[in-house]
Protein backbone atom coordinates (compact mmCIF):
# COMPACT_ATOMS: atom_id res chain seq x y z
CA UNK A 1 0.00 0.00 0.00
CA UNK A 2 1.34 3.41 -0.88
CA UNK A 3 1.72 6.13 1.72
CA UNK A 4 -0.97 8.20 0.01
CA UNK A 5 -3.45 5.30 0.06
CA UNK A 6 -2.63 4.55 3.70
CA UNK A 7 -3.20 8.16 4.74
CA UNK A 8 -6.56 8.23 2.94
CA UNK A 9 -7.65 5.01 4.65
CA UNK A 10 -6.59 6.30 8.08
CA UNK A 11 -8.46 9.56 7.60
CA UNK A 12 -11.55 7.58 6.65
CA UNK A 13 -11.40 5.95 10.08
CA UNK A 14 -9.26 3.07 11.31
CA UNK A 15 -9.46 1.89 14.91
CA UNK A 16 -6.90 0.16 17.10
CA UNK A 17 -8.92 -3.05 16.76
CA UNK A 18 -8.67 -2.91 12.97
CA UNK A 19 -4.93 -2.40 13.15
CA UNK A 20 -4.46 -5.23 15.65
CA UNK A 21 -6.31 -7.54 13.26
CA UNK A 22 -3.92 -6.59 10.46
CA UNK A 23 -0.92 -7.28 12.67
CA UNK A 24 -2.37 -10.52 14.00
CA UNK A 25 -2.85 -11.81 10.45
CA UNK A 26 0.93 -11.86 10.22
CA UNK A 27 1.49 -15.23 11.83
CA UNK A 28 4.80 -16.31 13.27
CA UNK A 29 5.42 -18.53 10.25
CA UNK A 30 4.91 -15.65 7.84
CA UNK A 31 7.11 -13.36 9.89
CA UNK A 32 9.66 -16.14 10.24
CA UNK A 33 9.75 -16.60 6.50
CA UNK A 34 10.35 -12.89 6.08
CA UNK A 35 12.73 -12.55 9.04
CA UNK A 36 15.53 -11.44 6.74
CA UNK A 37 13.33 -9.19 4.59
CA UNK A 38 13.88 -5.54 5.17
CA UNK A 39 11.04 -3.24 6.09
CA UNK A 40 9.27 -0.96 3.65
CA UNK A 41 8.95 1.90 6.12
CA UNK A 42 12.50 1.64 7.53
CA UNK A 43 15.02 -0.35 5.49
CA UNK A 44 17.39 -0.46 8.47
CA UNK A 45 14.95 -2.81 10.25
CA UNK A 46 13.52 -6.21 9.40
CA UNK A 47 9.77 -6.75 9.08
CA UNK A 48 9.86 -8.66 12.40
CA UNK A 49 11.46 -5.67 14.15
CA UNK A 50 8.83 -3.34 12.73
CA UNK A 51 6.01 -5.72 13.74
CA UNK A 52 7.30 -5.76 17.34
CA UNK A 53 7.58 -1.98 17.50
CA UNK A 54 4.17 -1.30 15.95
CA UNK A 55 2.37 -3.95 18.00
CA UNK A 56 3.81 -2.46 21.20
CA UNK A 57 2.72 1.02 20.09
CA UNK A 58 -0.92 -0.15 20.06
CA UNK A 59 -0.79 -1.34 23.69
CA UNK A 60 -2.24 1.85 25.17
CA UNK A 61 -5.19 2.09 22.79
CA UNK A 62 -8.66 0.61 23.36
CA UNK A 63 -10.14 -1.50 20.56
CA UNK A 64 -12.54 1.23 19.42
CA UNK A 65 -10.09 4.10 19.81
CA UNK A 66 -8.63 6.02 16.87
CA UNK A 67 -4.85 5.56 16.73
CA UNK A 68 -2.24 8.24 16.05
CA UNK A 69 -2.03 8.76 12.29
CA UNK A 70 1.70 7.98 12.01
CA UNK A 71 1.29 4.59 13.73
CA UNK A 72 -1.74 3.65 11.63
CA UNK A 73 -0.13 4.68 8.34
CA UNK A 74 3.01 2.69 9.10
CA UNK A 75 1.02 -0.45 9.96
CA UNK A 76 -1.01 -0.17 6.77
CA UNK A 77 2.03 0.49 4.59
CA UNK A 78 4.03 -2.39 5.99
CA UNK A 79 1.41 -5.10 6.52
CA UNK A 80 -1.93 -4.31 4.84
CA UNK A 81 -0.97 -5.53 1.39
CA UNK A 82 0.00 -8.95 2.75
CA UNK A 83 3.20 -10.87 2.17
CA UNK A 84 5.74 -9.10 0.02
Question: pLDDT per residue over 57-71, tens digit each?
Answer: 999 999 999 999 999
Whether the pLDDT of residue 26 is over 90: the answer is: no
User: Which residue would you say has higher pLDDT here, 82 or 40?
Assistant: 40
Average pLDDT over residues 42-69: 92
Count the domains in the chain.
1
Expressed as residue numbers, the domain containing 60 is 3-80
Of 84, 76, 83, residue with least CA distance to 27: 83
Look up the pTM and report it.
Answer: 0.83
Amino acid sequence: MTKKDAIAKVRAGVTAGDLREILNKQTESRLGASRAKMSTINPALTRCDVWDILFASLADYRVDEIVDEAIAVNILREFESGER
